[in-house]
Structure 1
Amino acid sequence: MALSSEHLDAYMVTWKLEREFGGMTTVCTQRAGLFAQRYGRAFVVTFNRAPDQPQIVDELVGKGKLSPDVQVLNLYLDLAQRGLAPQEPVAVKKFDPAITDLVLGETVAYPGAPERPFSQHFTDGQAAGTGQTRFLRKDGSTFLIDTKGFDPQGKKRRCLEVLDTEGAVIARFNTAPALYRYWLSSLADHENSLVVIDSKYTAALLDKWKTTKVPKLYAFHSIHVAKGEPLETGQLSKPHAPIIQARQQWDGFVFLTAAQRDAYVRRFGDAERCFVIPNPLKSGTLPGPPPQRRSTHLIAAGSLTANKNVAASIKVVAELVRRGHHPVLHVVGQGAQRGKLEALCQELGVADQVLFHGYSDRLPEFFAGCTAQLFTSANEGQALVLLEAQQQGCIPVSYDINFGPADSIRDGVNGFLVEPGDLQAMADRVEQLITDGQLAAKMSEHCRQFAREYAANDVIARWLETRNKAAALKAHSTREDMPDFSARITSLEFLKDDGLALGVSVREPLPRQAEIELVILDRDTKAQLQSIASSARQDGLLVFSLSAQMLQAAAGEGSPSDVYLRCQLGGSVELKRLGVKNSRTLPYFTSHNNLSFKPQTGQQKK
């Protein structure tokens, strides 16, 4: 059902809301603020144990990081204050450990009220024994009992019981995600509702959440493959893997850029349920007069993690110093790599040129006072920090990575793009900006203009359009689930025409309507060299016949080619690398086309 234009409950779902947070949570809260501005209210939903959340919310509102019209709903505090709709009937208790001898351990109190426990944790004194946590309302009554232990067969179990104010059990769950899903349904699964799940961790817990009225949407904030992996065949990023593997249980995926969406669709299909909505950009108006911009001042902003690669920015500064310049790099952000980065500054002799500020609420002021932003991340979804810099006239000099920078930067107009890892090229571009005031001023103005045009985009309208499309697809869905199958080569026959017949065994039966073909990709470019339909198919066995001409075309030029099995079912696509059964010894052919054997040195891909 389409949303009403006059009323909407918008729920932005993440795991937790802290006093300090990074880009993903920033987008979540800013998007909630835009919905609140249009509809009078919006919600941020969290699931962590957070007795201090009301205090955190007050601080964030006071700092201008959260709209006062955004309500933050936390699972535990909502159960304590509002309760939960009772199950009908209450689920059967599958786990009932002996809990008569539990001893009180850690107690967590409500903030400012040490006499009022929020949670009490009990144990039986054994390292891997029974544990139980009781959560209490401010009046001292228990609203949730969370018990962990082992059943008579030695299997680890969990039981979560929600209690009403009279102490009666009104709902029971055998896993925490089951409680999360039930609670979230009571909040958000209604007409004129929008649910956007931002957190990767939370999304993995909600894959089995079945909604009846509201489509379930996940927002990709970063690339879906692991660092350095090819987009179409590479290993999925660890946090995104469970989400993508359960993609049939989602009503829509939302990507930040068209390039990111296209890369996903090429690999997994389901194009009609994949959407593009860029991040919102908060107003960059400074509270007072802008600081004086200094030509040699640079900035690297973001968390100090391996992915953000601030070390490369420091090396660029060292190169500029070697060339006789006197740059100052402001590093704004915090993270586990700070110690290593400070040590690198000492090693390169630029400790006086690099200033570490830690986390700061004054990032726009830093951008306004610096000529250039150095952006050396390994990968991104959409780097909102680039737009925030451009908003203040700070010129980004960025690695041209997947994805994001090229969507915000027109090379040589409102920033510079250089090849990833090319420190010399980055130093060249920064050198241009700090030595050519006219060029810097011209590009700075182009940055501001681009940011103004971007901020004018009606992001909320795009979310409403996406929600309505996803809801319509959900209501008329006929898509089938792609089985979790595996495939391996079981036979290889040499044909008379110098071709090959390849036998492939598929585990987990595939529907007859599934389209299955053998595809051969160039290892370096991932370009498709050949696509071959099966010549025979019976039960779980497929045969693919490759003529000599096909083999010649599949050899590629200059680099090896790799063989995959591609299965398409409806709009979904699955690509499986083909190999053979693990064995200690494998055959191979020498350069003289003679058959030999050698010990296996690693795992074979399946």
Structure 2
Amino acid sequence: MDIQTEPLDAYMVTWQVELEFGGMTTVCLQRAAAFAERYGHASVVTFNADPAYEVVLQSLRERGKLSEKVRHVNFYEHLAAHPLKPQAKLAAAKFVPEHTDFRAALSNTYLDSDTATFSEQSYAGPEKEVERKSYFRRNGTVYLTDTKFPSGGTERRLLEVVNESGAVTARFASAAALYRYWLSELVDHEHSLVVVDSKFSAKFLSAWNTVHVPKLFAFHSTHVKAGQNLLTGALADGHAPMIEQRAKWDGFVFLTEAQRSAYVARFGDAERTFVVPNPVRSGHIDPPLPQRNPAHLIAAGSLTVNKNVAASIKVVAELKKRGLEATLNVVGQGSQLNVLEQLASDLEIRDNIVFHGYSDQLPRHFAASAIHLLTSTNEGQALVLIESQQQGCVPVSYDINFGPADSITDGHNGFLLPHGDITAMADKAEALIRDQELAARMSANARKFAEDWASRDIVALWIETRDEAARLKKSGSPEQLAAFTADLQGMDFLDGSVKIRFAHGVPAPVTGQFELVLIGRDSKEVLASIPASEVAAENAAFTVSTEILAQPGVADAIGDASVKFSNGSSSETKRLRLADPVLVPYLTAYNNLSIKRV
């Protein structure tokens, strides 16, 4: 396939794009720009309601944040300007509000217009218990109403899409259902690539069923909580819903092979996991070029607990104890700013720390600094390391999951250190400050690595990923899914684990995957999901370790065990059962073996 010329519509799906944004949105826009350069166009898709839509786009384009070739397709703006395909069968609303005497309370105008109404808030009922938000085209006609109201003790929602004549053409009981319907019309065709970047958007897109385009989710950060064991630790809050619903996705895309390997070791499904690193933004700096100061260090990123900039400040304090007056440039903003400022004062190095806040001139900051300190607790790829290497700024980083080890060859183009070792980080920083020959050599090596990294064809990697995911999507066999059983055959008590054997009934060759799903009887939440340890032509087995059951909130809450079989983008879940039981062994309350007739 000639990916240079074959027509392709690339869509990067996120929740919103604001005037100021972080790394995930930056990557989303840069990836869209890369596809636009290759194919002449690409799209970023958003779902937030924003009357400042056009003003935001204009500002981003003027500042070079959004390529002129990239289309920004916002749900509300697009729905206002393009008729939505009417539902084949417009069903009557199952629930309707008791009160409809709506009284307008608040309205918003399009920010680029003094008169055109964007939306209007209104209420009905004696206690204003019915809330309606109406959205208007620029010609003043309504295109969408979103009504929230109580019914039968439950909060209900009714969204109706209205055409230019005022007739309802589509009706939904949730915003998520409307978003999915609209998105299918927009992107679900054969020559399409869809990458979901936003964890928030991915929550309502797990239930999105596509016909043609493979549904891909991009992991921008680690899939476990900070400090957790990769095989047994609690999943990151944002990623847990997608992982629990992974059978509904056509592919998960990771930034590094290390993270993909860690995921596969725990959940299996190697076929539908891929690695595509993020593109690197241009490191070009307009003259005049800044003068690099050998005693200037930099910490760049959001000021959050995870980024752990406090450790970088402590490194500067340690250097001062050794008689080195180093300056740390902190570039970024976030909730930890006041805490970090106070820490610098407490350590009596406030004059050594410069808080720059957010800056869109990060390459210039890197070019002016000699050493880049990365002290995060976890990362997805730590692309900021490559951005610093582009400018010859030598990274000194904790060796964390995931990313630094992919960018840094220890002692060659940077340093890798054990997480939390302030002294070791200060040692390496001191060596670079005092030995300018070492600093110059490592700076040149860093530049060369970044040049080689940036030369990779990221677009080609995404196309390969899309094509393989599309192939797997089409290969799902309905016959295998229909034959799936979960007939318990036996259990083996091993050292530190239990092996559960069952007959799956799936015709050979088995192309799908099996998972043991443990569900809380009261909460009905998925507490653990364990991939099959063995799969044969007629049966399969799960190995459940005590480590998995020892996780907080799991052992005491398990009520039901089911088997999920996934094939392509389809899946089915069945309770583990004895097909034809006569005598059944069980354990008494005192852990004694007993047998009963069924």
For 1:42 and 1:516, how far apart are their aligned partners in 2?
A: 37
Q: Distance in 2 between matches of 1:60 and 1:448?
A: 29
CA distance in 2, matches of 1:2, 1:106: 53
Secondary structure at the counterpart of residue 211 of structure 2: coil
Residue equivalent to 2:258: 259
Amino acid aligned to 2:86? P
Letter in 1 for 2:282: S
- For 1:577, the equivalent position in structure 2 comes to none
Measured in 2, the distance between the counterparts of 1:501 and 1:301 equals: 44
Tell me if 1:63 matches 2:49: no
2:119 aligned with 1:119: yes
Alignment of 1:403-442 (within 5 A): 403-442=402-441
Corresponding residue number in structure 2 for 1:249: 248
Question: For 1:250 and 1:454, how far apart are their aligned partners in 2?
Answer: 29
- The unaligned stretches of length 5 or more in structure 1 are 483-490, 494-498, 518-530, 556-561, 574-585, 589-606
Indicate if the aligned counterparts of 2:52 and 2:112 stay in contact, CA closer than 8 A: no
- Between 1:256-265 and 1:96-105, the stretch displaced more is 96-105
Cα drift, residue 511 of structure 1: 4.4
Q: For residue 299 of structure 1, what is the aligned residue in structure 2?
A: 298
Deviation of 1:187 (Å):
0.8
Partners of 2:477 and 2:567 within 8 A in 1: no
| Correspondence for 2:218 | 219
Change (3 A) 1:570 1:197: closer
Question: Is the 2:247–2:566 Cα contact (8 Å) retained in structure 1?
Answer: no
Paired AA for residue 385 in structure 1: V
Aligned AA (1:174) = A
Question: Residue 162 of structure 2 aligns to which amino acid in structure 1?
Answer: L
For the pair 1:40 / 2:32, whether they are aligned, the reply is: no
| CA RMSD after TM alignment | 3.6
| 439-448 or 57-66: bigger deviation | 57-66
Distance 1:159 1:492, change over 3 A: same
Native 8 Å contact 2:492 2:500 kept in 1: no
Map 1:83-162 → 2, pairs under 5 A: 83-124=83-124, 129-151=129-151, 153-162=152-161
| Paired residue secondary structure (1:113) | coil
**Are the equivalent residues in 2 in contact too, given 1:271–1:571 (CA < 8 A)?**
no
Shift of 1:457: 0.3
Q: Secondary structure at the match of 2:115?
A: strand
Q: 1:532–1:384: structure 2 CA closer, same or farther, 3 Å change rule? A: closer
Does structure 2 conserve the Cα–Cα contact (< 8 Å) formed by 1:296 and 1:434? yes
Q: Distance in 1 between matches of 2:195 and 2:3?
A: 15
Aligned residue for 1:342, secondary structure, equals helix
Aligned amino acid, residue 348 of structure 2: G
Following TM superposition, by how much is the alpha carbon of 1:476 offset from its aligned partner in structure 2, in angstroms? 1.0
SS of 1:171's partner is strand
Q: CA deviation at 1:51?
A: 2.0
Equivalent residue number for residue 206 of structure 1: 205
* Local SS of the residue matching 2:351: coil
135-144 vs 402-411, which moves further: 135-144
Q: Deviations over 1:380-421 (max 9, x none)?
A: 110111110000111111010000000000001111110000
Deviations 1:568-606, CA, capped at 9 Å, x for gaps: 957899xxxxxxxxxxxx989xxxxxxxxxxxxxxxxxx
Question: What is the CA–CA distance in structure 2 between the aligned matches of 1:501 and 1:334, rounded to whole Å?
Answer: 47
Corresponding residue number in structure 1 for 2:509: none
2:350 corresponds to which residue? 351
Instruction: Assess if the C-alpha contact under 8 Å between 2:4 and 2:39 holds in 1.
Output: no
Q: Give the secondary-structure state (helix, strand or coil) at the position aligned to 1:36.
A: helix
Aligned residues: 535
Q: Percent identity?
A: 50
CA deviation profile, 1:73-105 (whole Å, cap 9, x unmatched):
000000111131111122331221033333322
State the secondary structure of the residue aligned to 1:181: helix
In the alignment, which residue of structure 2 is the partner of 1:283? 282
Deviation at 1:334, TM superposition (A): 0.6
Change (3 A) 1:404 1:532: closer
Deviation, 1:227, is: 1.3
Report the CA distance between 1:156 and its aligned residue. Answer: 1.3
Deviation, 1:510, is: 8.7
Deviations 1:486-526, CA, capped at 9 Å, x for gaps: xxxxx999xxxxx99998999xx994568799xxxxxxxxx
1:75 lines up with 2:65 in the alignment: no
**Matched AA of 1:459:** I
In the alignment, is the contact (CA less than 8 A) between 2:108 and 2:117 conserved in 1?
A: yes
Q: Partners in 1 of 2:228 and 2:100 — Cα distance? A: 53
Question: Kindly tell me: are residues 424 and 471 of structure 1, through their superposed partners in 2, closer, same or farther at Cα, counting changes over 3 Å?
Answer: same
Structure 2 counterpart of 1:448 = 447
Q: Distance in 2 between matches of 1:256 and 1:112?
A: 38
Partner of 2:238: 239
Amino acid at match of 1:197: V
Separation (CA, whole Å) in 1 of partners of 2:14 and 2:315:
36
1:229 partner letter: Q
Aligned to 2:365: 366
Are positions 1:21 and 2:21 aligned together? yes
Give matches, 1:167-566, under 5 Å.
167-478=166-477, 511=504
Paired with 2:90 and 2:444, the residues of 1 have a C-alpha distance of 63
- Distance across 1 between alignment mates of 2:258 and 2:497: 35
2:297 & 2:361 partners in 1: Cα distance? 15
TM-superposed CA distance for 1:287, in Å, is 1.6
Q: Relative to 1, partners in 2 of residues 1:571 and 1:438: Cα closer, same or farther, differing over 3 Å?
A: farther
Gaps of 5+ in 2: 483-490, 507-512, 517-532, 548-553, 572-588, 592-598
